[in-house]
Structure formats: C-alpha cells, structure tokens
Amino acid sequence: MAEHTLSSPEHRVDLAEAIEFYYEQGWTDGLPVVPATPERVRLFLDAARRAPGDVVGTVPTRGRTITAEKVAVNAVLAGCKPEYMPVLLAAIEAMTVPEFNWHGSLASTMGSAPMIVVSGPVAERIGMNGGVNVFGPGNRANATIGRAVRLIIINVTGGTPGLLDRATLGHGGKYSMCFTENMEHSPWEPLHVQRGFSPEESAVTAMAVQGPHQLGDHASNTPEMLLDIFAQHMSVYGAGHGEFAVVISPEHALVFRNAGWSKRRAAEYLYRAAISRVSERSAIGGAAGQGQQAQPPKNVVATADGLMLLVAGGDAGGFSSLIPTWAGGKISRSVTRKVQG
C-alpha cells in the first residue's frame, strides 16, 4: 500500500468484493475494512485542510514517508469520521518523532502497541470516551482512531503481523488503544496542560506500551494506602523504567481529591514507593539462584517525571490500571503533539 492510494476507479466494485480484495492484498488488521473511495478520501483531507502530498512524518529505518493522503486512506479503511483526521494526524506526527522509535516498537517481539491519549476540547467535540469501558468496545472515535494508527503501521510502514511485526504474544491494544481522560472526575489538570499546552488547546500523546494490568482496591481510603497497592503491583516489572502509565479510576481519584493531593505529590510518593522486588533474580525471566548475588532494591521508574498519571474509566468500581512502556521506556519515549485546527 505504500505505493497505492487504494482509491483508484478500478477498485469501485461490489462492496463484498471490495472487502475481499483488501483481504487478498493484506491491507487489513484481520477485520473487514471500509473501502476507500476517492470521494471519501477527499472528505478526510478537506476536514484537516491538507493536500494529498503533505508529509506528516517519516520512518527513516523503513525508508517510508507518511503523507496526508495515506493517513486519510487508512482513516477511511478504519471506519473513522472525517472530523477525526486532525487527531489522527497529530498521533502520527507524535509517533514519527525519533524518540518514539516507530520501527523498534512495531518490530519488537515484546508486543508493543501505540497508546494514544487525546486531551483537550477536541476529545469532547468528536465524542471520545474517557468513562465506562474506556479500554473496551463501544465508542467509534476511540476504536477507529486507534485502528487507523494500526492500519498505517501495517499498510504504510510494512508492520505486517508475522513478518515485520514479530510479537511473541501481542495483546488487544495492538488492534486499537486510544482514549481520553475523564476530566469530569479528575482532580488534576489534563495531560496536555501538564505538558505545556493551554486548556483551550488539544493534544495527542503517543506512548509505546505493553498490555495493561488491572488491579482492584476497594479498601484504601488514603492516598498513601492506595499508592502503596499500586507500588506493590508495579514492583514485579523490575527497576529502571523510563516511563510508566498509571490510569486511575474515578473511584480511586476521589481519594486524592478528598485528601487535596496534587498530581505531582502523588507521582513523587509513587516513585518512592515503587521499589523493584525482583532484585534476587538476574531478570524477570531469569533463573533464581545460580550463585547470583542479590542487588539492593531500586525504584521501578528512574524519576517521578516518568510516571504518567491519568484519570479515566467508569465512576463506579475501585479498579485502576498499570501500563508499562515497551522495553521499559529506555529506547522509546512518549511524545505529545498539538492537534491542529
């Protein structure tokens, strides 16, 4: 697909035949796609005020250039609405920054997936979900924006599962992992404001992540008690992570609101509390013993700045989620880009 638009007249055939054609070409993520007609592609370009050949980003390792037209084509395939295009463009801009490491994350056997966090007024404007079932099905914007990112990885940069994408196991986030924050229940500033944007602006943050780990706690009633539980669960991931996402449910966020804790205070406490408890092993997957000497405990994340604290999810249920970065965040960093328009 790197050399085709998928929207030429010869592809204007019966819908069922068109869907099968895309399957035959390997241009899907395993699910049926929406055929990308020239008219639909143009609507998406117009919505973002982009010309077809505008360069959105490059992946030098793959020798690939991602143009606005290629983004639009895959947005159509994924089932997006035209008004989602500015968000999708910002996501691709963030992911093609060298610090994100597009090629390494898509080719890794660890099973990395791009987590896309949309912050600011655009999330509400396009109807994104930051509440109930935030990581699950049911919301078109969440599902299709994340899916479009995956289709671009496959169709434009060659990240075909089983070929360049060599994930040992993978996880559901490799289909789509896109959401917004639950600002109605958050006691803190949104992520884009924390990263230097104004409240009136919108931004997308991309992070290469492993699968989320859900934890439950219906007993803790102070920030310290709750964060100590988070830290215990984080400890199994080992030390020295550059970044770590912590998605806090509204029920848990209420604990911080009631105590008057800032996001910074919570991050600093969690940083100190999250100590690796796998120091007696050479690595999480290594063998215990064998003459190895135990190392002193170390913090799971290198600094408190590496903790991305987000409030999202339904307003009932004491469940939060820990999301470790791919490769410990040592060779990939989260990147935030402004949504234009």
Domain at 211-324: CATH code: 3.30.2320
Q: Are strands 178-180 and 113-119 parallel, antiparallel or unpaired?
A: parallel
Q: What is the pLDDT of residues 70-100, one digit of tens each?
A: 999 999 999 999 999 999 999 999 999 999 9
Amino acid letter for position 121? P
Question: What is d(CA 26, CA 43) in angstroms, rounded to the nearest whole number?
Answer: 25
Mean predicted lDDT score pLDDT of the chain: 92
Reported as a pLDDT band with limits 50, 70 and 90, residue 341 is: confident
Residue intervals of the chain classified under CATH 3.30.2320 are: 211-324
**% pLDDT > 90, the chain:** 87
The two structure tokens encoding residue 293: 């000497």
pLDDT at 297: 82
- Work out the percent of the chain whose per-residue pLDDT is above 70: 91
Give the whole-angstrom CA distance, residue 117 versus residue 89.
13
Inform me whether the pLDDT recorded for 11 exceeds 60.
Answer: no
Q: What is the pLDDT of residue 137?
A: 97
Is the pLDDT at 8 greater than 90? The verdict is no
pLDDT number for residue 84 = 98
Compute the distance between CA of residue 228 and CA of residue 230 in angstroms, rounded to an integer: 5
Q: Which residues contact 247 (CB under 8 A, 6 or more apart)?
A: 134, 212, 310, 311, 312, 313, 320, 321, 322, 323
- Exposed e or buried b for every residue in 41-57, given b needs 16+ CB within 10 A? bebbbebbebeeeeebb
Residue 125 has pLDDT above 90, yes or no: yes
Average pLDDT over residues 23-42: 97
23 - beta bridge partners?
A: none
Who has greater pLDDT, 8 or 229? Answer: 229
pLDDT of residue 292: 52
Rg (the chain; Cα; Å): 21
The pLDDT assigned to 295 comes to 66
pLDDT digits (tens, 9 = 90+) for 210-242: 999 999 999 999 999 999 999 999 999 999 899
Is residue 175 within 8 A of residue 110, CB to CB? The reply is: no
Q: What is residue 329's predicted lDDT score, i.e. its pLDDT?
A: 84
pLDDT tens for 245-295 read 999 999 999 999 999 999 999 999 999 999 986 653 344 444 444 545 556
Residue from 147, 146, 137, 116 nearest 33 by CA? 147
